[in-house]
Amino acid sequence: MERVEARKSDHLEVVLNRDVQGVHSTGLEKVKFAHVALPEIDFAAIDISTEFLGRRIAAPILISSMTGGPRAAEAINKAIAEVANSIGLPFGVGSQRIALESSTLNAGLDRALRKLAPKVPILSNIGAAQLVIWDDPVSCCARAVAAIEADALIVHLNPLQEAVQEGGDRNWKGVLTALERVARSLPVPLIAKEVGAGISGVVARRLWNAGVRIIDVAGTGGTSWAQVEAECATSAKQRAVASAFRDWGIPTADAIVEVRQACPEATVIASGGIRSGIDIARSIRLGADLGAQAAGVLTHAMDAPAALVTHLETLIEQLKVACFCTGSPNLAALRTAALQP
């Protein structure tokens, strides 16, 4: 357990202080809206609120999972919970593996988190590889949800990261079957989330057929977890193996389109290199329901709460300006906004 906690502490330090971005783009920059010089709408009346997990949220923005193991996570989770609740945005916690497997360390992942954020969706989080390691994955997942009174459970799919990580979990045989069992048994929805290499339409359909109704594409163009593992490697060989996969995966824009086409009824979350409210607008135009940020939020979450508030309010304002300049009074209109030829 100490090894897992130390590794997650290393991850936090690397993401905050080193260049671990993918070299290639998300592909979102190719989505160019046709500017509407006569929008004929009142900016103040633009409504970007939406429904997510049975709750009304202020904007289609998810503060995505980013922490979970280190002791610093408790302060980060607390800050995010308070700010998310005040603005009206959902948020996901980092991996709850340590909290589930340790009787002494929960990194703030308990019901105190729900008390800080009673109004917004909170998402639990475990790794897919654990589903075939734990003796009773259904029970463990139920505990993860109950621990923070979550509205859904994220199962993060990170085979590339595990494959290039020293001591990573490489046995993924039976993960889909376990996912189906959890989806059938859990009282809350299951969210399948990649961590930066993208989800294809083919995989999305397999997930849908297994009972997963929310898919976070998490494509390339943002943080490369292969590069994070390269930075954490303790040997030249391991560093070389991991760094070779810095840009492996499906660009975020492509993943959104593929997943939406394969699963027209799914809730699709766009993440992986979402850097602005304009990127969120582009993602929604491509077929996403929400946009999510993790690393983009982390630096502000480590600072004063006011910095995090300003960052999130900036994303919201950018999204509203994109709506205004496309003549879109709401998200439904934005989904069909005209694009440049």
The pLDDT score that the predictor gives to residue 163 is 98
Which residue type sits at 297?
V
pLDDT tens for 217-271 read 999 999 999 999 999 999 999 999 999 999 999 999 999 999 999 999 999 999 9
- pLDDT class of 104 with cuts at 50, 70, 90: low
CA angle 221, 200, 249 (to 5 degrees): 35
334 to 6, 28, 331, 337: CA distances (angstroms): 44, 15, 5, 5
Cβ-in-10-Å burial (0-12, 13-18, 19+) of 181 comes to middle
Q: What is the mean pLDDT of residues 197-220?
A: 98
Share of the chain above pLDDT 90, in %: 79
If pLDDT is split at 50, 70 and 90, which confidence band does 17 have?
confident
The model's pTM is 0.95
Query: Across residues 118-127, what is the average pLDDT?
Result: 96
Q: Provide the β-strand partners of residue 57.
A: 50
Q: What is the pLDDT of residue 178?
A: 97
Residue 1 has pLDDT above 60, yes or no: no
Q: Which of 69-73, 123-127, 137-141, 309-313 has the lowest mean pLDDT?
A: 69-73
> DSSP letter string over 165-179?
STT-----TTHHHHH
Q: Which of 213, 222, 282 is nearest to 253 (CA)?
A: 282
**Residue with token string 């900016």:** 43
Q: What average pLDDT does the segment 260-283 reach? A: 98
| Domains of the chain listed by start with CATH number | 2-334 (3.20.20.70)
Residue 146 pLDDT > 80: yes
| C-alpha 239, offset from chain centre | 26
Mean pLDDT of the chain: 92
- pLDDT, mean of residues 32-48: 98
Angle 107-111-117 (CA atoms, 0-180°, nearest 5)? 100
Phi, psi at residue 339, to the nearest 5°? Answer: -110, 155
- Going along the chain, which residue ranges are E strands? 50-52, 55-57, 61-63, 91-92, 122-127, 152-157, 190-194, 214-216, 267-270, 290-293
